[in-house]
Amino acid sequence: MIFEQIATGGCQSYLVGCESSRSAILIDPEQSQVDRYLGLAGQLGVHVRYVLDTHTHADHFSASRELGKAFQAPVVMNRLSPAPYAEMRLDDGDMLIVGNLRLRAMHTPGHTRDSMCMVMEDRVFTGDTLLIGGTGRTDLPTGDPEALHGSLFGKLLALPLETRVYPAHDYKGRSHSTIGAEIAENPRLKNSERAEFVAMMQHLDLAAPTHLTEALRTNMNGGRTVAQLLADAATRVPFVSLAELRARIGRQDGLIVLDVREKDAFEAGHVPGAIHLPRGQLELRVNAMLTDPTARLVTCCEFGKISTLAAATLRELGFPRAAALDGGMKAWIEAGYEVELPD
Ligand SMILES: [Fe+2]
């Protein structure tokens, strides 16, 4: 069996493949690691046949949609998943065949309504239903502590004690556990009484995950993360360093610095000679303000992010020489470079 566990900031994902057929499945891939999964599949010489999410993640950005396209493989989720891009939806007991591997879906609602565990030979991918020394929380959208009680005590924990547990998260760098070890040591499983389990889950008082809204927006609806939008824009524009721009100021070589911040920020100080065109008005005023489509343009904002989006938009609008400043006014000022104030 080919088995790669990819950990990123507490998220665990898995690339599991069949040695002889070189086919594989990718489980719970995370957005920031897209290039890593693609590279790993190539390095291992496997063909990823399925990209699977164990549930609708509320705390990380799923890369399933993007990787499903890249690998030309269906995105697999539980049949109750709201994700419009989930092409293959599994019922409880459905099995995926990956070469000579067989993965059986066990519907385990509770953490979310669409949570499922995938049982394969000596191991189970538990998603957030069962974590090492913990369980998924039940206070986020579609969470249900009663359902989690049933999924754990009525289903998952009935697997053989030696079954290896591979969760979707671990924040302490552990790779796996076993069903037996969790039954013996997991504090959340100490009390199998339904009412007491439910009361415990209802009183955990956990802080909301950092990117809850963005995760639900992207994972449930197939939207894109802000980081993705920025990364995409950054691949479409070249950058100019702060030092390069500073060296060119006053040279009269036709370089136009376009400050895309709001008026107040611009008036508080800008790159000498910069002209002001807020990003919100870019498309509306571009024709009047930038009359030469062959001009060399450098966009500038506060932190270097909005300016990247603005430069990408300018290129799309037909300014092929638009670039973005690598950094923004914050870094410019920190570097001690000259700032111009309005007259
Ligand atoms: Fe989760």
Percentage above 90 pLDDT, the chain: 87
Which of 186, 165, 162 is closest to 176 using CA atoms?
165
Whether 272 and 341 have beta carbons less than 8 Å apart is answered as no
Please give the distance, rounded to the nearest whole angstrom, from the Cα atom of residue 115 to the centre of ligand 1: 8
Write the DSSP string, 265-293.
HHHT-BSTT-EE--GGGHHHHHHHH---T
pLDDT, residue 343, reads 74
Distance between Cα 135 and ligand 1 center (Å): 10
Encode pLDDT of 14-36 as tens digits: 999 999 999 999 999 999 999 99
Expressed in angstroms and rounded, the spacing between residue 180 Cα and the centre of ligand 1 is 23
> For residue 104, how far is its CA from the centre of ligand 1 (angstroms)?
20
Q: What is the rounded distance in angstroms from the CA atom of residue 157 to the CA atom of residue 303?
A: 49
pLDDT of 82-127, one tens digit each? 999 999 999 999 999 999 999 999 999 999 999 999 999 999 999 9
pLDDT in tens, 129-144: 999 999 999 999 999 9
Higher pLDDT, 220 or 148: 148
- CA of 55 relative to ligand 1 center, distance in Å: 7
Question: For 309, phi and psi rounded to 5 degrees?
Answer: -65, -40
CA of 103 to the centre of ligand 1 (A): 20
152 CA distance to ligand 1 middle (Å): 15
Other CB atoms within a 10 A radius of the CB of residue 202 amount to: 11
Q: How far is the CA of 129 from the centre of ligand 1 (A)?
A: 8
Residue 209 pLDDT level (bands cut at 50, 70, 90)? confident
209 C-alpha to ligand 1 centroid (Å): 10
- Ligand 1 centre from 244 Cα, in Å? 45
Q: How far is CA 332 from CA 184, 249, 266, 329, in A?
A: 57, 13, 13, 5
**Quick one: pLDDT at residue 239?**
97
pLDDT per residue as tens digits for the range 244-257: 999 998 888 889 99
**In angstroms, what is the span from residue 213 Cα to ligand 1's centroid?**
13
Sequence letter at residue 96: L
Tokens of 236: 């479409």
Look at residue 217 and tell me whether its pLDDT is greater than 90. no
Residue 56 Cα, ligand 1 centroid: separation in angstroms? 7
